[in-house]
Amino acid sequence: MDTFSIGQLRIPASLDAEGGDDFAQSAAVGNAVEHHLWGHDDFATDAEERLAMVQPTPERDYVLAVARTARTIVANARISIPLRDNLRAAYVQIEVLPQVRRQGIAQALLAFVEQHLSSRGRTIMMSWSDARVDDGGDRPSPDRPVLVPPTGAGSYPADDAAAVLALGAGFELVQVDRQSVLHLASMRSRRSGAGDLERKEAEARAVGSGQYELVAWLDRCPEDLVEDYALLRRRMSTDPPLGGFTQEEELWDAGRIRRAEERALAGGASSLVCAVRHRSSGQLVGHTILERFDSRPAVVYQEDTLVLEEHRGHRLGMWLKAANLGRVLDAWPSAERIYTWNAEENSFMLNVNIALGFRPAGRTAGWQKVLA
């Protein structure tokens, strides 16, 4: 067994600053862990992107702890700490290179994290882990033991290394998400996928267009819509199914919207946002977000989709998503696939995604631990 040390890594302002080489090495560890799990690099983030996303903001502080063997970084604990809302909580991700697992490194990193969070008065730790779906189905193989969250929706392999670690460390499985992927090749043919997408959008528009209209933007929300958009982002933090997570509403305002936009652009990200406006009131009542990074132009991530509860039942979710997916073909011609994540109990949105052509590719376990 190799000896290892645990310590906090100062997050530099740039990769050229002191500590930049260590940060790049830490980012490479995270990417190696993702590649080992998935067999591809669709979820890799280059060092510049990762660094831009962990610069402190008025809303979040970020802490990075690493494990080293000799002078080599072999594992990360990435901590995100809310500063304006959810003041009991912190979000934690552990990444350990496959070749050094089963040596107590993850447990040591978790101990560091708990001590750090306790010193800052945090009592709730949330974390996530992923497992592949190799057969294209949405369930593990029948002979593999599974864990089921209290929601009763979805399952996660009990023998997964992350599950064993989480349960051993006192975490509870509180939710399971389905990861789905949509391959865009068929959509590029007017005779197949694109025509089907346009038909679904037209069907949804026929239901909702009397009272509603769509507005869309690239990267930056128009100034006259930013307050409404902030309300949607605020509601997005608690309206979707939360399973057993202790999540409070996030505080979003125009300033936070602009800071998030600038941070994304600095990290090489671009976003397509489509929103639905209630004609009589002029208020935005729903939105959906697609995001892509310059470093991997073939990959798109489906982020938020929300319709305010009082405006549901008009097929606005389908209309929003179908319209925004259609924009991808023109805005990002090199895009090849889109990934999305939904709570297994969110049957409405899962059915929308299935109708649009998304198919299961993985599952994500949501873990929570309440600290003494």
Residue 363 lies in a domain: no
CATH label of the domain that carries residue 155: 3.40.630.30
Where are the extended beta strands (E) located within 26-160? 60-69, 72-82, 89-96, 124-132, 146-147, 156-157
What is the C-alpha to C-alpha distance for residues 265 and 274, in angstroms, rounded to an integer? Answer: 18
Q: State residue 193's pLDDT score.
A: 53
What is the C-alpha to C-alpha distance for residues 43 and 53, in angstroms, rounded to an integer? Answer: 15
Residue 143 lies in a domain: yes
What is the torsional sign of CA 201, 207, 209, 211?
A: negative
DSSP 157: E
Residue 359 lies in a domain: no
Residues 114 and 17 in one domain: yes
pLDDT beneath 70: ranges in the chain:
1, 134-142, 189-195, 204
Residues 307 and 169 in one domain: no
Q: What is the number of domains present in the chain? A: 2
What pTM was computed for the model? 0.93
For residue 48, which of 302, 264, 339 has the smallest C-alpha distance?
264
Residue 162 lies in a domain: yes
Residue 218 lies in a domain: yes
Report pLDDT digits (tens) over 282-337: 999 999 999 999 999 999 999 999 999 999 999 999 999 999 999 998 999 999 99
Residues 245 and 112 in one domain: no
What is the C-alpha to C-alpha distance for residues 129 and 94, in angstroms, rounded to an integer? Answer: 9
* Last residue in a domain, options 153, 178, 203: 178
Q: State residue 134's pLDDT score.
A: 66
Determine the structural domain holding residue 146 and report its residue range: 5-178
Residues 54 and 152 in one domain: yes
Residue 366 lies in a domain: no
Residues 169 and 217 in one domain: no
Residues 153 and 193 in one domain: no
What is the C-alpha to C-alpha distance for residues 315 and 196, in angstroms, rounded to an integer? Answer: 16
Q: State residue 229's pLDDT score.
A: 98
Residue 21 lies in a domain: yes
What is the C-alpha to C-alpha distance for residues 270 and 255, in angstroms, rounded to an integer? Answer: 19
* Last residue in a domain, options 143, 178, 213: 178
247, two tokens: 């999540």
Q: State residue 191's pLDDT score.
A: 41
Degrees, nearest 5: CA angle 234-149-245 = 25
Q: State residue 210's pLDDT score.
A: 85
